[in-house]
Chain A
Amino acid sequence: AQSVTQLDSQVPVFEEAPVELRCNYSSSVSVYLFWYVQYPNQGLQLLLKYLSGSTLVKGINGFEAEFNKSQTSFHLRKPSVHISDTAEYFCAASWGYKLSFGAGTTVTVRA
């Protein structure tokens, strides 16, 4: 079965520092990749998506991710985080219509 693995369950980071959240998936064949963010007690919001084309994808709130086919990775990065970036981040992949989610990474930004 296809799967998504998020390598870090928790990432503490200081304000204005860079952050990278790691995500690997099981197969690069016909894959679509997504990062979602879930703020406390809120629903899921799409940060960015890779469907095809350029491997560097830019999303909302200054986030970007790079699709690496050979390493089957789709890591999320932000050069400078804010307190408001404290949230749960989910990597997801689709090989058709259904989404498979990673376990999530909790990002806690400290002043």
Chain B
Amino acid sequence: SAVISQKPSRDICQRGTSLTIQCQVDSQVTMMFWYRQQPGQSLTLIATANQGSEATYESGFVIDKFPISRPNLTFSTLTVSNMSPEDSSIYLCSVAGLGTEAFFGQGTRLTVV
């Protein structure tokens, strides 16, 4: 299993600003994932973050809007840039291995006003 800590747990931000979300895992993992859960919706994968390489973004998500860092095997950050009210969501960090369950952080509840 893995224990994932996300910071901040929630934030209220002004439109046009950026927020960086941190994700810390208690063990070394190869792949980390960032998800978005819009109000009343399911989880949508934003990108996969591998240590030492560029993140891989899913369709509809771009690096300029959601830059990701992965400086080592236990840490990653997701930045939500130039925010608008449509970015109000829960953002979740996750780790998973091949053929195993995914573990999730508690999420960051973002409200953009």
Contact = CB atoms under 8 A, between A and B. Distances in A.
Nearest to A32: B99
Interface of B: 31, 33, 41-45, 48, 92, 94, 96-102, 104-107
A97 B50 CA distance: 12
Contacts of B102: 34, 92, 94, 99
Interface residues of A, number: 20
Main secondary structure of the interface of A (DSSP, over half): strand
Contacts, number: 48
Nearest to B45: A98
A103 interface: yes
B42 A99 contact: no
Contacts of A90: 42-43
Interface of A: 32, 34, 42-44, 46, 49, 51, 90, 92, 94, 96-104
A34 B31 contact: no
Contacts of B107: 43
Given A43-B106, A103-B42, A104-B42, A98 B48 contact: yes
Nearest to A106: B40
Given A43-B92, A51-B99, A101 B42 contact: yes
A39 B48 CA distance: 26
A43 B101 contact: no
B104 A43 contact: yes
Contacts of A94: 96, 99, 102
B101 A49 contact: yes
Contacts of B104: 43-44
A90 B106 CA distance: 16
Given A43-B106, A43-B107, A103-B41, A97 B98 contact: yes
A101 B99 contact: no
In this complex, the member of B41, B42, B94 whose beta carbon has the largest number of chain A beta carbons within 10 angstroms is B42
A42 to B, nearest CB: 8
